[in-house]
Every structure is written in structure tokens, then in C-alpha cells.
């Protein structure tokens, strides 16, 4: 069984985005691993494994427009099922 079930990926488009601030916030406020927050001040790509992807989406939506959202169930995938 996986510690963190959902592979959560999305893009955030906004103004004055700071990947370090976003990275620190997610690390401090959400349980998960494999965090990747990269981009520039207008576009950030997020990749994060967590059990509560809706909380990550809610936070990211507070920063700007979110799109290309993918939430995959890695536990199902490990069983050979569609995630």
C-alpha cells in the first residue's frame, strides 16, 4: 500500500507567483511527497503525491487560474487498473 495515494498535477497561471513560496506552503500545510513546484512568476507546474488532492487544488486556485489538472489514483494503477 502506498503512503500517498493520489498523484496530483496541475498548472497555475497568475501574477507574481513564487515557486519557493508555493513549495514551502505545500510542504508545511499538506502531507505528501515527491513535490515539484517549478516555473516562473506567471506559470507554475505542480506535481505532488498526497491523500488529499482537493486541498492542494483549493490552495493553488487561491493563487491564480488552475488548469491541466490531473489526479491519478496510484493505488489503482499499482493493481493494473485505470487510475
Q: Specify if 56 maps to a domain.
A: yes
Q: Specify if 17 maps to a domain.
A: yes
Check: CB of residue 35 under 8 Å from CB of residue 20. no
Q: Specify if 39 maps to a domain.
A: yes
82 pLDDT above the threshold of 90? no
- In this prediction, residue 80 has a pLDDT band, given cuts at 50, 70 and 90, of confident
Q: Specify if 65 maps to a domain.
A: yes
pLDDT digits (tens, 9 = 90+) for 12-32: 999 999 999 999 999 999 999
Q: Specify if 30 maps to a domain.
A: yes
Split into its structural domains, the chain has a count of: 1
Q: Specify if 1 maps to a domain.
A: no
Amino acid at each position: 500500500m502506498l503512503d500517498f495515494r493520489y498523484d496530483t498535477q496541475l498548472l497555475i497561471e497568475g501574477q507574481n507567483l513564487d515557486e519557493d513560496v508555493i513549495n514551502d506552503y505545500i510542504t508545511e500545510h499538506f502531507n505528501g511527497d515527491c513535490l515539484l513546484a517549478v516555473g516562473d512568476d506567471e506559470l507554475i507546474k505542480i506535481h505532488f503525491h498526497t491523500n488529499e488532492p482537493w486541498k492542494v487544488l483549493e490552495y493553488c486556485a487561491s493563487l491564480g487560474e488552475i488548469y491541466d489538472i490531473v489526479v491519478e489514483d496510484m493505488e489503482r494503477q499499482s493493481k493494473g487498473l485505470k487510475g
